[in-house]
Amino acid sequence: MLVPVAAGLMVLVDPLRRKSDAGGAIKVTTLEALPNDGVPRRFPVIASKTDAWNKFKESPIGAVYLRRTGDSKVEALNVVCPHAGCFVDFTAEDKRFHCPCHKSSFEVDGKIADPKSPSPRALDSLTVKVDADGAVWVAFQNFQAGRRDKIPIA
Amino acid sequence: MKAMLAWLDERTGFRKLARGALYENIPGGPRWRHVWGSAVLFAIGVQFITGIFLWMDYSPSAQTAWESVNYIQNEMWGGWLLRGLHHYTAQILPVLLALHLLQIIVYGAYKAPREVNFWFGLILLQLVLMMALTGYQLPWDQKGFSATKVNLNLLGIVPLIGPAVQRILIGGTDYGHLTLTRFFAVHAGVLPVTVLAVLVVRAYLLRRHGFAGERSPVRADAPFWPDQALRNVVACLAVMATLLYLIVRHRIASPTGTLGAELSPPADPSEPYSAARPEWYFLFLYQFLKYFPGDREIWGAIVIPGVVMGVLCLMPFIGRSKGGHRFNVGLICSLFAGAGILTWLAISADARDPGYQAAVKQAAREAERVKVLARSPAGIPSEGAAVLARMDPFIQGPKLFAKNCASCHRFDGSDGMGNVPKDAQSASDLAGFASHAWFAGLLDPTRVSSTNYFGATTHKDGKMSKFVKKDVAGYTPEQKAQLQKVILAVSAEAQLKSQAATDQRDAAIIAEGRTLFKDAMACTDCHQFHVKDPDANAPDLTGYGSRDWLVRFLNNPGHEDFYGKRNDRMPAFGEKKMLSAEEIGLIADWLRGEWYEPAQAQARE
């Protein structure tokens, strides 16, 4: 009986050794699409994606909020709330991000706004590069939810 | 027949078994409050039957889960009833079990020698809740997808093993095929087998210890059959009646209401879903989590619920001590009251949250729309139904307009999604763009300089405004009639679906209008119209408002075919790569009212 159980368990835990294809820089938009007033805008992140046996070209893998902080300086935040994984919304009225699920709130730079927020950390910032043509590249990455530290899901 | 049954009895002893079950003594005789166990068993039976039939048509993969559930729900004969039964029994079952548990504790039925019965009851409750959690995401709709993501993230905070267990359940780093196959195996294989095993143990223990009733000097003991059995059957019928009511209740309320369980739009990992909530019987836990900031979350999500479960397990022993039973009753009643209050808090917070209300409405609109698209002649592509929603102007148009256009423009006074944007309107209202009515407003001396047209732009005092306010204002009735013909002619350039019939009917007037455009009205002094005109300096009206024109315009309104150097603030969405070609196409189609509509929408419903 050990043999079938062992064989089954091997297949069951196989996902543990799979690596995520996240982390590479992905072109998300251009500088012109980002307003100068520092208001963040949400963009889908489109990249190729592997789902077990399928490979998808040009498929949405997540979304980011981009905010222009200087002439050619851009900050990127993953839209995923670090608490439990819902997508946060930016509200222009109070210039904050709000999570629709458990009501965490974040400042425009991603820091926790209301100390009563259930989120254990600020919104996850991502590395951004703006190239000579004004294209905005984001190293898209998800992080483990519910942790104080930003642990990449690799 | 008799001989055959006798033979079978000799080999199996089934008569003794049946007699034992039917004539089991109930201390104190039959009572209505003994029906809960049967009701639970009945509901589990319903789940097994409906579950197996759903299994026959369900296909667990990221591209087929929603699609197959949609097919069962909306296309198959009686699919709404089958899925409705399964869905609503899953809602009723935890209630029945909770009431059963309450009854067992209040009447002290957990005391010796029935401790183990009680524990298996608690295990059954856990199993049913796990069934509900794993089943919730199988349709792979936005609602189940988002709620499950939250649940698995909560699992991930368990120290040491959390992240690994999470990854094994997800089947990798990201949600996809393996998430579905694994959840389905747990939901339809592992858990039902475990439930069956628990039920067998409970049945055995029941036979061993007999019914827990209480002897009473005024009520004689009685066997299970027939009086208690009848009461139990009535209870099961009541459960079924409740189920059927829940399934048809929306249809009773409105003739277009959903029959059976709701199915939200197909899951799309790049789309936010702000209406994500767990099933209502988990709302108290959801609300509870809001009170645990930062990394103390594990207390709310794991530790406290775990301790409560532990105390429940210890109840048989606590009940032995003096005052222990009272403590147990007090505890279970306060737990129920607390859960009730938390649930109410969650519901009332959502009722007061306009953002949540809007998200629920939006999800319902999209769900209805995807259902229509799935039935269109093109149908669901092999990439899955999420693509249908992603490529549909009716769904995406308003969203794109709200995000990219509504900081200046309006659509019928709103941002396209029914909200009034924060920024004041500073460009035209594009509802009905290029239609007869829209042009009539543009060429109306009292309206051309209103904010709905040029009022808040640099064109406010431009040539066109001046022309309308001076020349058109002084038109004779004859000229006004000519202008009407020109409006028909220019509007026909857009080839709007909504005006197709009138365009065809008015073909002669339109031809006349085209001539007037050049001659009497002298529009060609500034505008180019079908004939190449290097001197034209106003937007080219050839094909004005057509898909091709609009796409080129959105690509770069500052192109010399359009506003050229006089372009106000409008960005070159295409050339500056602010929007993709698909997105521009979606906006153009939506503004032109160009999306799939079923021919016999009325006939079908």
Confidence class of residue B82 from pLDDT cuts 50, 70 and 90?
very high
**Phi, psi at B165, each rounded to 5°:** -60, -40
In the predicted structure, residue B151 carries a pLDDT above the cut 80: yes
A133 — contact with chain B (CB < 8 Å)?
A: no
In this predicted model, what pLDDT tens digit does every residue of A23-50 receive, in sequence order?
Answer: 788 998 888 888 888 889 888 888 888 8
Identify which of B177, B274, B286 has the shortest CB distance to residue A54: B177
Q: How far is B306 from B298, CA to CA, in rounded Å?
A: 11
How far apart are the C-alpha atoms of B195 and A30, rounded to whole Å?
55
d(Cα A125, Cα A152) in Å, to the nearest integer?
Answer: 12
Mean pLDDT of B20-28: 81
pLDDT value, residue B173: 86
A 68-107: CB under 8 A from B: 79, 83-87, 89, 92-93, 98, 100-103
Look up the CATH architecture of domain A19-139. 3-layer Sandwich (2.102)
The whole-number average pLDDT for the span B3-32 is 86
Tell me whether strands A54-68 and A41-51 are parallel, antiparallel or unpaired.
Answer: antiparallel
Please indicate whether, in this complex, the C-beta atoms of A116 and B174 are within 8 angstroms of each other.
Answer: no
Interface contact A116, partner B, CB < 8 A: yes
Q: Mean of the pLDDT values across residues B206-214?
A: 80
Residue B602 has pLDDT above 60, yes or no: no
Instruction: Calculate mean pLDDT across residues B164-175.
Output: 90
Q: What is the pLDDT of residue B603?
A: 44
Render pLDDT for B274-290 as a digit per residue (tens, 0 to 9).
888 888 888 998 898 88
Which band of pLDDT confidence, cut at 50, 70 and 90, is reported for residue A3? very high
Q: A110 — alpha (psi -120 to 50), left (phi > 0) or beta?
A: left
pLDDT of residue A127: 93
Å from B158 to nearest chain A CA? 10
Which of B23-32, B49-58, B310-319, B387-396 tops mean pLDDT? B49-58
Contact flag B274-A100 (C-beta cutoff 8 Å): yes
Confidence at residue B487, expressed as pLDDT on a 0 to 100 scale: 93
Q: What is the pLDDT of residue B373?
A: 93
Would you place residue B294 in the very low, low, confident or very high pLDDT band (cuts 50, 70, 90)?
A: low
Nearest residue of A to residue B298, measured between CA atoms: A146
Decide: helix, strand or coil at residue B508. helix
- Residue A128 three-state SS: strand
pLDDT at B586: 96
Q: What is the pLDDT of residues A99-154, one digit of tens each?
A: 988 889 999 999 999 888 889 899 999 999 999 888 899 999 999 888 888 988 87
pLDDT tens across B236-245, in order? 999 999 999 9
CB contact under 8 A, A51 and B174: yes
Buried-state track B418-452, b at ≥16 Cβ within 10 A, e below 16? eeebeeebebbbbbbbbbbebbebbbebeebbebb
Residue extents of the structural domains in chain B: 28-262, 429-604
Rg of chain B's alpha carbons, rounded to an integer? 34
For B28-262, the fitting CATH number among 1.10.10.10, 3.40.50.300, 3.20.20.70, 1.20.810.10 is: 1.20.810.10
pLDDT of A76 above 50:
yes
pLDDT tens for residues B460-478? 888 899 999 988 998 999 9
Where exactly are the structural domains of chain A? 19-139
User: In degrees rounded to 5, what are phi and psi of residue B446?
Assistant: -85, -15
Residue A116 CB partners (closer than 8 Å, separation 6+): B293
Instruction: Give me the residue label for tokens 């809007």.
Output: B358
Alpha helices in B159-282 (DSSP H): 162-170, 177-185, 191-209, 229-253
Amino acid letter for position B366: E
